């Protein structure tokens, strides 16, 4: 081989490798990174894919041919991410199904979109006649149950439960006011709210609801961590 042909041969090898590398980068961008990076980044920041109880992820649309060209660890993480999102969606459906069975039995209870709410406070307002009146303030059921869950488990009578709930209402970190309890009794003519809460807990509905909310929080935590890992893997492919 002539010496002059060596640089040309070396250049040809380098050129082919560069072209192959460039095509691989382009393939990764078009078929892996571009379809996934936006969703994965949003998910890592707590904005989960799809609608509440109807979650779906772009990972499920990745074809087998593309998967075969992915690093094995990315495929493993992606499959885990998809399964976690599916499980989260299932738990969200369960939460809505359980909550719908008892929310109308709580003071002012109602469903707004995917949230369950009840009267947890009051505010004084003045009408055209300047006569003050108390208007109810709706609050989040999940937070309310989180605060009173320990006393639901320990209280043996409605009177004991009401006493404990009133005590919690006075604490700064609670999301409800003691005035709300008076509103339940007087304005809603509902003195037996504590009886119903205990009944709902003893029948297992509130307990099942709280446990489902716990599972949802855990799934969201795991999904967020997994999305962070995926985001790192995808950036390496780009």
d(CA 175, CA 53): 25
Q: Which residues contact 144 (CB under 8 A, 6 or more apart)?
A: 118, 120, 175, 176
d(CA 174, CA 145): 10
Cross-strand bridge partners of residue 122: 136
Task: State pTM to two decimals.
Answer: 0.86
d(CA 46, CA 173): 24
Instruction: Determine the pLDDT at residue 1.
Output: 47
- Contact assessment for residue 59 and residue 36, using Cβ atoms and an 8 Å cutoff: yes
The one-digit pLDDT tens for each residue of the chain (238 residues) are 454 555 665 656 656 665 555 777 787 788 899 999 999 999 999 999 999 999 999 999 999 989 998 999 999 999 999 999 999 999 999 999 999 999 999 999 999 999 999 999 998 777 677 677 778 999 999 999 999 999 999 999 999 999 999 999 998 788 899 999 999 999 999 999 999 999 999 999 999 999 999 999 999 999 999 999 999 999 988 7
Instruction: Determine the pLDDT at residue 171.
Output: 87
Report in angstroms the alpha-carbon separations of 113 from 89, 96, 136, 163, 213: 15, 10, 19, 32, 16
């Amino acid at each position: 081989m002539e010496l002059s042909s060596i640089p040309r041969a070396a250049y040809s090898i380098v050129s082919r490798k560069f072209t192959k590398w460039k095509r691989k980068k382009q393939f990764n961008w078009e078929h892996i990174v571009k379809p996934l990076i936006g969703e994965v980044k949003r998910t890592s920041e707590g904005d989960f894919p799809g609608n509440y109880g109807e979650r779906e992820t772009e990972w499920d649309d990745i074809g087998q041919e593309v998967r075969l060209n992915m690093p094995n660890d990315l495929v493993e993480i992606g499959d885990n991410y998809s399964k976690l999102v599916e499980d989260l969606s299932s738990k969200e459906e369960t939460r809505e199904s359980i909550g719908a069975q008892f929310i109308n039995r709580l003071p002012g209870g109602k469903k707004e979109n995917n949230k369950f709410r009840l009267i947890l406070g009051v505010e004084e307002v003045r009408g055209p006649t300047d006569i003050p009146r108390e208007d109810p303030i709706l609050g989040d059921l999940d937070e309310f149950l989180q605060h009173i869950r320990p006393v639901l488990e320990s209280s043996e009578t409605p009177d004991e439960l009401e006493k404990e709930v009133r005590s919690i209402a006075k604490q700064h970190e609670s999301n409800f006011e003691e005035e709300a309890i008076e509103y339940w009794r007087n304005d809603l003519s509902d003195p037996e709210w504590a009886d119903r809460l205990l009944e709902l807990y003893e029948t297992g509905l509130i307990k099942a609801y709280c446990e489902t909310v716990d599972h949802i929080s855990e799934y969201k935590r795991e999904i967020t961590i997994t999305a962070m890992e995926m985001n790192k893997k995808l950036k390496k492919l780009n």
